[in-house]
Structure 1
Amino acid sequence: MTGGRRAGGSLVPAYLATGGAARTRRDGRDGLRRPSVLSLADEPRADGGAADDDLPPAHLALLDALQGGALSVEEAADHLDLPVSAVRVLACDLLDRGLVRARQPVPAAEPADPGLLRRVVDGLRAQRP
């Protein structure tokens, strides 16, 4: 009997992974959302960046997950086997230290106007010898 826990799931409660923090300082307009894309910072800030030795294990695990490339907050949560809310707290801590960057995903493009495409094709056909 697993008590509702996924097989192989973490035995560490999420609030311990975040150092007891349940909210971020970025919960307003600039807060991280599920589709926000996280990546390692090019160069950590000189004023507030912490050495890797000073970071708790969960923060280091997130940095390690980002070594392979950018991940959304949801993907990082899946890699770390933590709730999205816990990963948001970890990511905001790393953002404040200048160790990661976050951006909103690129929005989907508008579908092309079929009439415009037809006129372009007709114009190209008219130029053919």
Structure 2
Amino acid sequence: MNGADREAGQWFDDDAGPVVRPYAMTRGRTTTAAPQRLDLIAVVVTEPHADDPDHTLAPEHLDIVDLCSTAPQTIAELAVELDLPIGVVRVLVGDLVHQELVHITRPVAPAELPDESILRDVINGLRAL
């Protein structure tokens, strides 16, 4: 962008398209007050009443609600789909959690899954009945 474009208030680059800085989307925030950890594999699920979200939300918030209304999405998937940095998506999802439009679920950790040998013993015990 050359100096004349900046003076005219033109906030886009012909090759890159519109430019909105990530800190503008999050209002300068880099963290969220969401009580859950919002790591890459945190799954975002819309609440049933999120069908008609507050239209004063930012377009990015509405995009997240829309994407998650068709199928739950991880933070990483949302970042890829929206072409936004992970940190920005975390803050935006945190806003939606605070407004109770989405909730976060955690995938089951492999260490918490039952041991395969226990499952086989249960199946064999059931067969023996």
TM-score, reference length from structure 1:
0.68
Which letter maps to 2:37? G
The 8 Å contact of residues 10 and 81 in structure 1, kept in 2 or not, is answered as no
Identity of aligned residues (%): 28
Quick one: structure 1 residues 36 and 90, their matched pair in 2 at CA, closer, same or farther if it must change by over 3 Å? same
Corresponding residue of 1:14: 22
Which letter maps to 1:83? P
Provide the rounded CA distance (Å) in 1 between the counterparts of 2:89 and 2:18. Answer: 14
Deviation at 1:25, TM superposition (A): 1.6
The 8 Å contact of residues 36 and 104 in structure 2, kept in 1 or not, is answered as no
Residue 30, structure 1, aligned to residue 36, structure 2: yes
Provide the rounded CA distance (Å) in 2 between the counterparts of 1:32 and 1:10. Answer: 28
Structure 1: state its 5+ residue gaps.
Answer: 1-7, 45-49
Which letter maps to 2:43? V
TM-score, reference length from structure 2:
0.68
CA offset digits 1:20-41 (Å, max 9, x no partner) = 2211123xx7332211100111
Residue 107, structure 1, aligned to residue 127, structure 2: no
How many residues of Structure 1 are paired with residues of Structure 2 in the alignment?
110
Provide the rounded CA distance (Å) in 1 between the counterparts of 2:58 and 2:68. Answer: 16
Corresponding residue of 1:3: none
CA offset digits 1:67-114 (Å, max 9, x no partner) = 221001111111111111111100010000010011111223344128
Structure 2: state its 5+ residue gaps.
Answer: 1-15
Provide the rounded CA distance (Å) in 1 between the counterparts of 2:31 and 2:54. Answer: 23
Return the structure number with greater relative CO, CA threshold 8 A, min gap 6: 1
Alignment of 1:1-129 (within 5 A): 11-26=19-34, 30-43=36-49, 51-108=53-110, 109-113=113-117, 120=124
Provide the rounded CA distance (Å) in 1 between the counterparts of 2:23 and 2:58. Answer: 13
Provide the rounded CA distance (Å) in 1 between the counterparts of 2:91 and 2:24. Answer: 11
Q: Give secondary structure in 2 for the equivalent of 1:16.
A: helix
Quick one: structure 1 residues 72 and 58, their matched pair in 2 at CA, closer, same or farther if it must change by over 3 Å? same
